[in-house]
A and B are shown apart, each in its own frame.
Chain A
Amino acid sequence: MENLIALLVAAPLLGAVVLLCGGRRLDRIGHLLGTVLAAASFVIGAVLFVDMLGKGAEERTFTQHLFSWVPVEGFQADVGFQLDQLSMTFVLLISGVGTLIHIYSIGYMEHDERRRRFFGYLNLFVAAMLLLVIADNYLLLYVGWEGVGLASYLLIGFWQHKPSAATAAKKAFLVNRVGDMGLSIAIMLMFTTFGTFAFGSVLPSATDASEGKLTAIGLMLLLAACGKSAQVPLQSWLGDAMEGPTPVSALIHAATMVTAGVYLIVRSGVIFNAAPDAQTAVTVVGAVTLLFGAIVGCAKDDIKKALAGSTMSQIGYMILAAGLGPIGYVFAIMHLVTHGFFKAGLFLGAGSVMHGMNDEVDMRKYGALRKYMPITFATFGLGYLAIIGFPGLSGFFSKDKIIEAAFAKGGTEGWILGGVALLGAAITAFYMTRVMLMTFFGEKRWENDADGNQPHPHESPRSMTIPMIVLAFGSVFAGGIFGVGDRFLKWLEPVTGHAEGDSPVSAMTVTAATMVVLVIGVGIAWAVYGRRPVPAVAPRGSLLTRAARRDLLQDDFNHVVLVRGGEHLTRSLVYVDHTLVDGVVNGTAASVGGLSGRLRKLQNGYARTYAVSMFGGAAIIIAATLLMRAV
């Protein structure tokens, strides 16, 4: 049974290779092949899951050693897999949501000439992501990590004929690279500290290392997580990544890839537990991003970018929870899974809306779509209720737990984090209600597109609606299935460990507070966007709104600090190079040249001059000999 693990990766990888190398003759069946192979991965995952459920909690870790990758003395890099409860959760999420989005893409990309290639990239992504989560060592994880980065780059820039898409892909790749550097440095540090990078060797012995080293490793891992999961300060790429096709946004930039950072932190939990400073950094990053994403989400009129801000914010929740240590690991993953459902559903809904509205993304040009797209409206609405944490839906269970865990951190820290999480919940409610109202309610604000075509909103084909329906089911019930009776907690606890925090407020109080802020957020949104008509042209807005529309000046910050700073650094380095380094080099050359020009005159060609130097040399040797004897 354990030998099936490799097939999880092999199936989509085969799809990627066949589709990308197969050429045009596969155009007609390419999308089906890709979908079938992704589904095959899911089926294998499900089989393994059932098998795993049949075993006791202690025997649930499957391993498979495939081959030795770099069999060198002292540097053992193996290709081996480890499938435990944590990995299994991810495998099911990735292959499940991945398969649904493959199905959705069949319809969504129907008119695209390069659909086969698109499916090849999607399969490549699924394979890399699965490799990331089932690798049994950090080096192999890094392979998957880079693989998803590559797939993300290819898919964001899929419509590369649009300069904005090409630039966005480049931006995502470059920003991710910063995080990748962090991961590679972390792996190197691990190797120097522990002499290995296998989970099985590093994690149990992590507490043996000094705290300083663990803090360094933890911070580097956090940097990696920031890059991949779009956390402050490496968040700037996610908004632009929405240039990619909507299924990509749903799969990669909402449900799966961006959660890789959370996986990395939870997987390395032992290291963070032993390095409190790194853990604090994680919570700070999570809390800041949570508010950052939420505020950006409030101001965006582009439906996908609003959802992207929301994604950032929700991953902020997860990172925050992961930074809380054993109190929060399980809830981070739980929120990750439920978020995977409802955010994928929301993105697919957004894609469906765009599909019906001639690819219009500005919410100010939507309105009153609920009658024209009933299924989309229903699934999007359920996703909406799930994300704001409506009681009984998945978001309620997972987010509530994270807020509780934040308070349970204890002390001033706990109050601050809990307060931030609550505030985030309120803002989440506000901006999601805003999206909902602007898109599906109010009056029509439709406009003709650039070619003068009038929009004819219509329900999307079945291949698109079915995945949305399935995901809507997940959005509604996943939280309940996980949360009631602490099923998910018991499932994951053997891997991540769990500790009940010391909460200064009771769980009921937190839930009540959450409900209150939820109502407040929804209320404000309804007051602004529900009661009054939405202006078709965005009002000027406050200073904060304008800043938030510009992603809270993240790009300006990067430009001023990184680009300008880099330019200045380069310029000064060039100056130093020209004056100092070149000066030394040229000066040396010139002095050698001048000296040899003078020495050359000694070579006048007269044998007698040479004889004089020989004779003088002989005299000097005799003098030296006599001197040495005298001494």
Chain B
Amino acid sequence: MNPVNYLYLASLLFTIGAAGVLIRRNAIVVFMCVELMLNACNLAFVAFSRMHGNLDGQIIAFFTMVVAAAEVVVGLAIIVSLFRARHSASVDDASLMKL
């Protein structure tokens, strides 16, 4: 098997995650889909790392994880406070950005 298949898998997962972001209304699920996209990227980085024969790709993937952790903390806090304010976790309910 050609290891490039990992990249196809990564792009497939990324696309599924992106479609999920667009389709789902529940903020938590949207957020999970974002995580899925990040993980797909990580898989690609790891595959690239293997392709080039050095560890820089893994380092980047590692940093992605750290940033994702920070993002999750803040994002979930936002969801919680949003839920407190609106009693709803739907992203469509927060549609005040229009005339």
* A and B, direct touch (CB closer than 8 Å): yes
Question: Per a CB cutoff under 8 Å, which of A600, A604, A607, A615 touches B18?
Answer: A615
**Could you tell me if B95 and A604 are in contact, using CB atoms closer than 8 angstroms?**
yes
**Could you tell me if A607 and B91 are in contact, using CB atoms closer than 8 angstroms?**
yes
**Could you tell me if A607 and B22 are in contact, using CB atoms closer than 8 angstroms?**
no
**Could you tell me if B91 and A615 are in contact, using CB atoms closer than 8 angstroms?**
no
- Distance in Å: Cβ of B31 to nearest Cβ of chain A: 12
Within 8 A of A (CB), among B50-99: 91-92, 94-99
- Distance in Å: Cβ of A43 to nearest Cβ of chain B: 84
Question: Per a CB cutoff under 8 Å, which of A600, A606, A612 touches B95?
Answer: A606
Q: List 12 A-B contacts (CB under 8 A).
A: A600-B99, A603-B99, A604-B95, A605-B96, A607-B97, A608-B22, A608-B25, A611-B22, A612-B22, A615-B18, A615-B21, A615-B22
Expressed in whole angstroms, the Cα–Cα distance for A612 and B22 within the complex equals 6
**Could you tell me if B21 and A611 are in contact, using CB atoms closer than 8 angstroms?**
yes
Q: Which residues of A contact B21 (CB under 8 A)?
A: 608, 611, 615
Say what secondary structure dominates the interface of chain B.
Answer: loop
Which B positions have Cβ atoms within 8 angstroms of A?
A: 18, 21-22, 25, 91-92, 94-99
Total contacts A-B at CB 8 Å:
28
Which A positions have Cβ atoms within 8 angstroms of B?
A: 600, 603-608, 611-612, 615
Question: Closest chain A residue to B93 by CB distance?
Answer: A606
Expressed in whole angstroms, the Cα–Cα distance for A86 and B99 within the complex equals 80
**Could you tell me if A604 and B22 are in contact, using CB atoms closer than 8 angstroms?**
no
Say what secondary structure dominates the interface of chain A.
Answer: helix
Q: Which residues of B contact A604 (CB under 8 A)?
A: 95, 98
* Known contacts A611-B22, A612-B22; is-contact A603 B98 (Cβ 8 Å): yes
Q: Which residues of B contact A600 (CB under 8 A)?
A: 99
**Could you tell me if A608 and B92 are in contact, using CB atoms closer than 8 angstroms?**
yes
Expressed in whole angstroms, the Cα–Cα distance for A606 and B27 within the complex equals 13
- Distance in Å: Cβ of A536 to nearest Cβ of chain B: 86
Question: Closest chain B residue to A615 by CB distance?
Answer: B18
6 additional A-B pairs beyond A607-B94, A615-B18, beta carbons within 8 Å, are: A603-B99, A606-B92, A608-B22, A608-B25, A608-B91, A615-B21
**Could you tell me if B22 and A605 are in contact, using CB atoms closer than 8 angstroms?**
no
Q: Which 7 A-B pairs have the closest CB atoms?
A: A605-B98, A605-B95, A605-B97, A606-B95, A603-B98, A607-B91, A612-B22
- Distance in Å: Cβ of B29 to nearest Cβ of chain A: 12
Expressed in whole angstroms, the Cα–Cα distance for A607 and B78 within the complex equals 15
Expressed in whole angstroms, the Cα–Cα distance for A606 and B92 within the complex equals 6
Q: Which residues of A contact B18 (CB under 8 A)?
A: 615
Expressed in whole angstroms, the Cα–Cα distance for A603 and B91 within the complex equals 15
Expressed in whole angstroms, the Cα–Cα distance for A612 and B92 within the complex equals 14
Expressed in whole angstroms, the Cα–Cα distance for A612 and B18 within the complex equals 9
Q: Which residues of A contact B96 (CB under 8 A)?
A: 605
Question: Closest chain B residue to A602 by CB distance?
Answer: B98
Q: Which residues of A contact B25 (CB under 8 A)?
A: 608
